[in-house]
Structure 1
Amino acid sequence: MTDPFTITIVLIAFLAFGGLSMGLAMVCGASVYLILKGFDPSIAAETMLQGLFNSYTLLAIPLFILAADIMNIGSLADKLLRFSQAVVGRFKGGLGHVNVVSSLIFSGMSGSAVADAVGMGKIIINMMTKDGKYTKSYAAAITAASATIGPIIPPSIPMVLYALVSDQSVGYLFAAGMAPGLLMGVVLMLMNSIIAHRRNFETDTSIAIREIPAITFQAIPALLLPVILLGGIYSGVMTPTEAAAVAAFYALAISVVLYRSVSLRQFYATLLGSARSTATVGILIAGALAFQYVVTRENVPDSISAFVGQYDLSPAGFLLMINVLFLVLGCILESGAILLIIVPIFIPTAQALGIDMVHFGVVVVVNAMIGLITPPYGLLLFIVASITKEPMGRIIRDLMPFLIALLVALGIITYVPDFVLFLPRLIGYQG
């Protein structure tokens, strides 16, 4: 008779590729596994409920989603974009630099690559292509690449998911993402500068220096959000979950009261959209919790550790294997599925090899984000293609230099752990 675990894996793959959401596919697979093993199927429901309701940290996810959605409908994105244009728009390839810098700033508020690409991305793509200075494919490529920074610089929804499966501090993970996120921004701007000179892009119309103070003043309320968010967390005033609530309230307050850019109808639509997004993430987490029960019953993590042990892999070799595996998986599975399903399987092996769990978390999250632009099925590629209506082949061609730049950054992040752990250690991390 075929092994129940094998049947479960085949069933999940069949349902997922057949169009069912990954979360529901895992719930169905776990339920079938329990039935075949002769266990009570209600164990799956109990596992999901306990996992969802016993994790206070998970409350941060819907609040960060709401904050990002409010920023997208308000004028915060416009103010931040205008500020970025004032700072770096005068250089060669200026709007490309603006694209990256605005993603760096916006990522300090949204925590989502998709929110960055859909919200800020639409605006900057229109700016880049309006006068024909940049092709639509190039604008789409750099927008997709810069959106990967969103979940690296705190706050970060993927970091919260990793904290859930690894039992690590969200605060330390947020701190560990700062330097890698800035590094990713730097390499993208360097590549944009090189391409701008090679293709001889026209210099963009820059904002007069005398206008910069007024633009900065208008952007200060928006720029204060990440300061309040991170300052509250690292001063001990707020937990990450409480900080997420403050972020959502602050974004709403300055959009409605100060900028007066959100109507009641828009806010209602935003609440509905955030609820749908939260439900999608919630189903994925619930399914992953049920599937983790199956994986634990089958001792899969121990089997992986034994398999890796046969080849006497060093920590460097193991991390190289993880990078290759996750980059491939990233263009097939969504990042949440990778973090909730695949990562827990490798955590015991990483611990056995002495790899720091906060460093490991940053490595896998960066991998998952780069996977969003890995051809041919990266999710961000489809998002920017739908915005620009450009053929996927053209976008991928213009994306490749930025992908290479991000892979160089990934190599530094992977093999220079002190670069990642410098800031967490400053605030008390003992790893």
Structure 2
Amino acid sequence: MTLASPFSISIVAMTILAFLGLPIGHAMIAGSIVYLWLAGLDMGTVAEQLLNGMYTNYIILAVPLFILAAELMNIGSMTERLLRFCNAIVGRFRGGLAQVNVLQSIIFAGMSGSAIADAAGTGKMMQIMMTADGKYRASYAAALTAATAVIGPIIPPSIPVILFALVSDASIGYLFLGGVIPGLLMAGAQMLIVAWAAKRENFPFEKPTPLREIPGITWRALPTLMMPIVLLGGIYSGATTPTEAAAVAAAYALIISVLLYRSVSFRDFYTSVLASARTSASIGMLIAGALVFNYVVTVENIPESIKVLLQAWDLSPLGFLIMVNILLLLLGCLLEGTTILLVVVPVLLPTAKALGIDMVHFGIVVVVNIMLGLITPPYGLLLFVMTRIAEVPIRDIVRDVMPFLWAMIASLALITLFPDLVLWLPRLLGYQG
């Protein structure tokens, strides 16, 4: 492959279009068309790849359904009741409201599957609660919300895990199970950092919830707390596929918000559907562009070439995983996570399989890396989201998020070194990997 080869020119075209502001999905489609034209291949292949990829992958339907479920939870009072429950459990300790932020992300992770949905939903409410009366610095509250939102796509359900399953053909159900312990490990690391900061900066105590009120608060939050059980119970009992479970999640959120809590108007519902459609269309274009570009990558035999190159380095499975961690953490500073999942990861998969690396373990390692990219400067998307929500300079958020980032990188190292942290739960429920 030379600088004047069709593949090199298509990469240059893609990069230029992306820098000029064209959405990355459109840029990948345009670059792929340039490649097919220069290589003298059938231009109709673009449409064929789009149709085959988008309309024969039943799993992709889960993405817009989980997005809709998260939107419906945010417009109803489900989020508010969840925060009251979390505050009743951990709010009484020093820095209790910061611990509430972590706990609500653990619970909310079992519902939305999206870090952005977590930050934009409960994140807004936590920002208001934490900064009221000057209890916490606005930048610290924003940094903590960004860090806790990372947990969302690691604990099931998870949109990034669904996308990994799409490109790897790994089992979604076992990937979901594999994310539970790593997600809880990262949440535990965050709680330790909060406890350390609470003692160092003398964070305030919250007014403790009387014990006699906790049963009532729990009862009112129970329909919300049951959602992860309904969702994951359907998947692991075999009653639903992950895609069908996503539809159940959206329907459950709608029924609870409208019929039980009576907190959603028709205008709210219309707004949430519209927002879900916009987000789904954006992700859909990325998937479409990646499907076409991955065809180009396959024609050029790039994955096999990289596999041969890495085999020449004689890497061990652990050495390869360390290299993948470094590569993905660096790429996460610059690229959007979905792009990495759909374009970069397929190139690495043949080598991972050749080295005998378990696909569930590899998938969780990849997803954790990509989630950390959301809070890694300079591109970290969650940093920009929280900058808009908190209205504070991004440099202040970056300063306060770094202890959480280092703690989660340490958790990633443990997940990489000890595969059983990922594989124990799937194997407990029948996984043979």
Query: Do both share a fold (TM > 0.5)?
Result: yes
2:115 aligned residue (97, 113, 137): 113
For 1:218-237, what per-residue CA distance to the aligned partner results, in whole angstroms no more than 9, with x for missing partners? Answer: 00000000000001100001
CA distance in 2 between partners of 1:420 and 1:107 (Å): 17
Q: 2:143 aligns with which of 141, 146, 149?
A: 141
Distance 2:35 2:147 in 1: 39
Q: Aligned partner of 2:388: which letter?
A: S
Deviation at 1:303, TM superposition (A): 1.0
Residue aligning to 2:323: 321
1:400-419 per-residue CA deviation (whole Å, 9 max, x = no partner) reads: 11011101111111111011
1:243 is matched with which residue? Answer: 245
Deviations 1:41-73 (A, max 9, x none): 110110011011111111111110100000111
User: Any conservation in 2 of the 1:141–1:398 contact (CA below 8 Å)?
Assistant: yes
Aligned mates of 2:194, 2:66 — CA distance in 1: 30
The residue number in structure 2 matching 1:214 is 216
For residues 46-85 of structure 1, what are the structure 2 equivalents within 5 Å?
46-85=48-87
Instruction: Summarize the alignment of residues 255-294 of structure 1 with structure 2, pairs less than 5 Å apart.
Output: 255-294=257-296
> What is the rounded CA distance, in whole Å, between the counterparts of 1:182 and 1:189 in structure 2?
10
Counterparts of 1:375 and 1:27, CA distance in 2: 28
SS of residue matched to 1:282: helix
Match 1:347 to one of 346, 349, 352: 349
Which residue matches 2:254? 252
Matched length: 431
Counterpart amino acid of 1:67?
A: A
Taking every aligned residue pair, what percent have the same amino acid on both sides?
60
User: Counterpart in 2 of 1:7?
Assistant: 9
In structure 1, distance between residues paired with 2:136 and 2:183:
25
- Equivalent-residue separation in structure 2 for 1:159 and 1:405 (angstroms): 22
Measure the CA separation in 1 of the matches of 2:345 and 2:240.
Answer: 28
Residue of structure 1 in register with 2:193 after alignment: 191
More divergent stretch after superposition (1-10 vs 228-237)? 1-10
Contact 1:331 1:379 in 2 (8 A): no
Q: Which of residues 395, 419, 422 is equivalent to 1:420?
A: 422
Return the offset for 1:427: 1.5
Tell me by how many angstroms 1:206 deviates.
2.2
2:101 is matched with 99
State the match for 1:151 in structure 2.
153
Which letter maps to 2:255?
A
Which of 261, 286, 295 lines up with 2:297 in the alignment? Answer: 295
More moved, 321-330 vs 140-149: 321-330
Letter in 2 for 1:236: G
Q: Superposition RMSD on alpha carbons, in Å? A: 0.8
Structure 1 Cα separation of the partners of residues 273 and 403 of structure 2:
38
Q: Could you tell me how far apart the structure 1 residues matched to 2:384 and 2:120 are?
A: 11
Does structure 1 conserve the Cα–Cα contact (< 8 Å) formed by 2:72 and 2:272? yes
Q: 1:330 aligns with which of 317, 329, 332?
A: 332
* SS, match of residue 179 in structure 2: helix
Give the aligned residue type for 1:138: Y
2:183 aligned residue (171, 181, 184): 181
Q: Is the 8 A contact 2:334 2:378 kept in 1?
A: no
TM-score (norm 2): 0.98
The question of whether the paired residues in 2 share the 8 Å contact of 1:68 and 1:115 is answered with yes
Q: Which position in structure 2 is the counterpart of 1:386?
A: 388
C-alpha distance in 2 between matches for 1:240 and 1:215: 31
Shift of 1:210: 1.5
Partner Cα distance (1:192, 1:280) in 2? 35
Residue range with higher mean Cα deviation, 338-347 or 307-316: 307-316
Distance 1:163 1:393 in 2: 35
- Of the structure 1 ranges 207-216 and 27-36, higher mean CA displacement relative to structure 2 is found in 207-216
Q: Give the conservation status (yes or no) of the 8 Å contact 2:335–2:379.
A: no
3-state SS of 1:119 partner: helix
Task: Assess if the C-alpha contact under 8 Å between 2:143 and 2:397 holds in 1.
Answer: yes
When normalised by structure 1's length, the TM-score is 0.99
- Please point out which of 109, 129, 133 is paired with 1:127: 129
- For 2:146, give the aligned amino acid: A
Deviation at 1:331, TM superposition (A): 2.1
CA distance in 1, matches of 2:171, 2:316: 26
Distance 1:65 1:357 in 2: 25
